[in-house]
Structure 1
Amino acid sequence: MPENTATGGATIELENLTKRYPGNPAPSVDNVSMEIGAGETVIFVGPSGCGKSTTLKMINRLIEPTSGRIRINGEDVTDIDPVKLRRKVGYAIQSAGLFPHMTVAQNIGLVPKMVGWSKARIRDRVEELLDLVGLDPGEFHGRYPRQLSGGQQQRVGVARALAADPPVLLMDEPFGAVDPITRDHLQDELIRLQHELHKTIVFVTHDFDEAIKLGDRIAVLRERSHIAQFDTPEAILTNPADDFVSGFVGAGAALKRLNLTRVRDVEITDYPTVTVDDPLQDIFDKLRRSGTNEILLLDKRGRPYKWLRRGDLMRAKGSLARAGTLVHDTVTREATLRDALEAVLTDNAGRVAVTGRRGEYTGVVDMETLMNSVHELLEADRLDAIEHQHDLEEAREELTHTEQEGHEGEAKA
């Protein structure tokens, strides 16, 4: 589908939404009301068993509400056919939930097929979506889920949820079952997708750092989905509503705010690069001219492959096969500064390569840039603390002054 015909987001209104299960004296979800803007990413975060997944599943009526209303773009969906509703609301879950007997293309094309799209339109949509989530259509079209890594399965799961171009995408801990590095990259991919698609996303997680990274707003939920605070990540980090929310924020709020700044927001510098096809002498000459102690070797697709130092080239003896240090981690422009800092510290090399959609090299972010950002955040926190202390002292002085005037008034009387 051309970009200009794609469906954007829709507003979601939850009004006094409640779920009671037979035999339970207390409701699992109690009287939740919330408004979510079109194109907004809202994260539900809270302790296990607080009702966040139940609340999410009531939006597409996988779980029927006991009482209350759900409106999507102003339309009350509480009384319409739940099967039709689910075809209009994308849904992605942990471990992708793909049908094992279907190919990747069949999994993605399932809902469009059910709603009556033509074979040609489904084929085009599958290709478009595989490309959108960073998987080569030619390579992955005919594969089965068992032939994919966990991260690839999750990408297909997201593609399937987006297949019929729904305005709303519900995600229930979709990245919870993959390793941390894959999880970071999937989060970055979701951020990039949302920049392009502007869907309304409601996302459940128990990981507060994930909530900070992904959310336009975060709903911190107590038991029975009571809303402790519903605000922007920055507001929750700097101004938690109470001790319960502070417990979720945890220690090191300034460092957590590194999750609010993206790699694209800081200086990405260039670095001398060569490719595996370059003659060894050309690589040596380029390293000598660069004035640096190392150079980045790219593979045949232009992706970061190895860091080569001068000594590595001296020992190469005509072959780069055993020379250099493999690039263990990269970040995209959508990654957070926290991701970049972790990658730099993991590689212990003072910089991390930045890559594009296909993993192609686009530049580097170095330790100095990251540390400058950390210092700016810490300084901002220090100034906020001073201002807060000043406000408290002024309030105390005003209270003391008011009390003194009261005593003087009593004495005169």
Structure 2
Amino acid sequence: MSEHTTDEAQHGAAIELENLTKLYPGSAQPAVDDVNMEIKAGEVVIFVGPSGCGKSTTLKMINRLIEPTGGRIRIGGEDVTDIDPVKLRRKVGYAIQSAGLFPHMTVAQNIALVPKMIGWSKTRITARVEELLDLVGLDPGEFRGRYPRQLSGGQQQRVGVARALAADPPVLLMDEPFGAVDPITRDHLQDELIRLQHELHKTIVFVTHDFDEAIKLGDRIAVLREQSHIAQFDTPEAILTNPADDFVSGFVGAGAALKRLNLTRVRDVEITDYPTVTVDDPLQEIFNRLRSSGTNEILLLDKRGRPYKWLRRGDLMRARGSLARAGTLVHDTVTRDATLRDALEAVLTDNAGRAVVTGRRGEYTGVVDMETLMNSVHELLEADRLEALEAQHELEGARAERTHAEQEGEGGGRKA
């Protein structure tokens, strides 16, 4: 991440929830009942649970959009339960579903909202807006003057995250922020959040109803029952391999081994290079490059170095001087922060059995193929098989010890 214009970027702060409770007037039972939780500085914690279990209420009590009925909230060791809630919200970023941008304000004005409220100078605000747009992958020159209605859903969410980060808060609360966008855009936004967190190290509390999203994003996951009672609070891997009870198992669902593909990133496996050409290269040069590459296809990049089309030899023979109608468009790509599950889905939609890997601005960085992904799947399945065998052996050993102890006891009784 580039540095702030005037000061160091602020990393995450620990959050402590102590006996946190919310009882609405007229209700017989609390919506949130006596929640105790410690979230480490710089950690991504996901709240997941059934609709109406109180996960969003718990989240909103952290920045006191909903006032607690009882209990304490500490951020960075400071008890924020009794301080001015408006001042608190300026220190805690908040991103919601559908971005929640003000429609009459430009992108730059939306992002600048909190810095302006807390008295930043115009120069500092302008620099921060530029920095954040760049950080979330939107070209400042192209987007700063646009209005929300001129943006796609994914672009609006990126601006929403930028606005939440504008005053560099140590804590970022996210309430189902990607729930209203299509699945492909959602995957890319999740990857973007993972990349941002590698740079920013904020403390992020994220609400979702999607367990696969929780596995992909969370350092730890809090599986919540009714009234936000904690069923299990652990790492994604621990929950997948050792769910606490049947309630948690219901969230894990079938195919735990395949869900573990969400724990491994594209950057963790081999990414191969592929021969590439650009739209500015002469047709004969493209043909020569393909012939010398030893492959039967080549990747055509656009003027910005982004994947555009796959070209085969037959495509070039039929091109007749123009690539306008030649080749197969690249429809889906993955980033290095995408999970192997994302990559597998992208590969399966591509008849040739590979997916293009891109950088933060969509530029080509390599290719991941089906063979690499299947090897990873087989390794996970084998690890699960060995783990199950080990657990079975431990169970059999415990039974044998118990039987032996019982026999010893019976023998002693007979002697007596």
Instruction: Give TM class, smaller chain.
Output: over 0.9
Q: Deviations over 1:149-198 (max 9, x none)?
A: 00000000000000000000000000000000000000000000000000
The match for 1:248 is: 251
Corresponding residue for 2:294?
Answer: 291
Residues in 2 aligned to 1:409 and 1:220: alpha-carbon distance in whole angstroms: 48
- 1:10 and 2:13 are equivalent in the alignment: yes
Distance 2:10 2:294 in 1: 50
Deviation by residue 1:37-93 (Cα, 9 ceiling, x = unmatched): 000000000010000000000000000000000000110000000000000000000
- Is structure 2 residue 375 aligned with structure 1 residue 367? no
> 369, 385, 388: which one pairs with 2:388?
385
Q: Map 1:79-118 onto structure 2 (within 5 A).
A: 79-118=82-121
The 5 Å alignment of 1:156-175 reads 156-175=159-178
RMSD in angstroms over aligned alpha carbons? 0.8
Letter in 1 for 2:150: Q
Residues 197-231 of structure 1: CA deviation (Å, up to 9, x unaligned): 00000000000000000000000001100000000
The residue type paired with residue 218 of structure 1 is I
* Deviation per residue, 1:307-354 (Å, 9 max, x gap): 001111111111100000000000001000000000000112211111
Q: Does 1:207 align with 2:210?
A: yes
Indicate the residue corresponding to 2:155 in structure 1: 152
Residues 40-55 of structure 1 correspond to what in structure 2 (within 5 A)?
40-55=43-58
One-letter amino acid of the structure 2 residue matched with residue 289 of structure 1: S
Q: 1:276 aligns with which of 269, 276, 279?
A: 279
Superposition deviation, residue 407 in structure 1: 1.4
Partners of 1:397 and 1:391 in 2: CA distance: 10
Q: Which amino acid aligns with 2:235?
A: T
Q: In the alignment, does 2:247 pair up with 1:231? A: no
Alignment counterpart, residue 188 of structure 2, candidates 185, 189, 193: 185
Corresponding position of 1:28: 31
Describe the SS at the equivalent of 1:247: helix
Q: Which runs of 4+ in 1 moved over 3 A?
A: none
Distance 2:223 2:371 in 1: 34
TM-score by length of 1: 0.99
Paired residues for 1:209-358 under 5 Å? 209-358=212-361
**Amino acid aligned to 1:86:** R
Shift in Å, 1:16:
0.4
Amino acid of the residue matched to residue 44 of structure 1? F
Give the Å deviation of 1:410.
2.2
Which string of whole-angstrom CA distances, capped at 9 and with x for unpartnered residues, describes residues 87-136 of structure 1? 00000000000000000000000000000001110000000000000000
Q: In structure 1, the residue corresponding to 2:349 is in which secondary structure?
A: helix
Structure 2 residue matching 1:96: 3-state secondary structure:
coil
Return the alpha-carbon distance in structure 1 between the equivalents of residues 187 and 202 of structure 2: 20
Aligned to 1:72: 75
Once the two structures are TM-superposed, the CA of residue 406 in structure 1 deviates from its matched residue by 1.7
Question: Deviation at 1:402?
Answer: 1.1
- Write the distance in 1 (CA, Å) between the matches of 2:412 and 2:118: 78
> Hey, what's the Cα distance between the residues in 2 that align with 1:385 and 1:348?
35
Cα distance in 2 between the residues matched to 1:96 and 1:81:
25
Aligned residues: 413
Note the alpha carbon deviations across 1:242-275, whole angstroms, 9 max, x for none.
1111110011111100000001111111000000
3-state SS in 2 of match to 1:35: strand
TM (normalized to structure 2)?
0.98
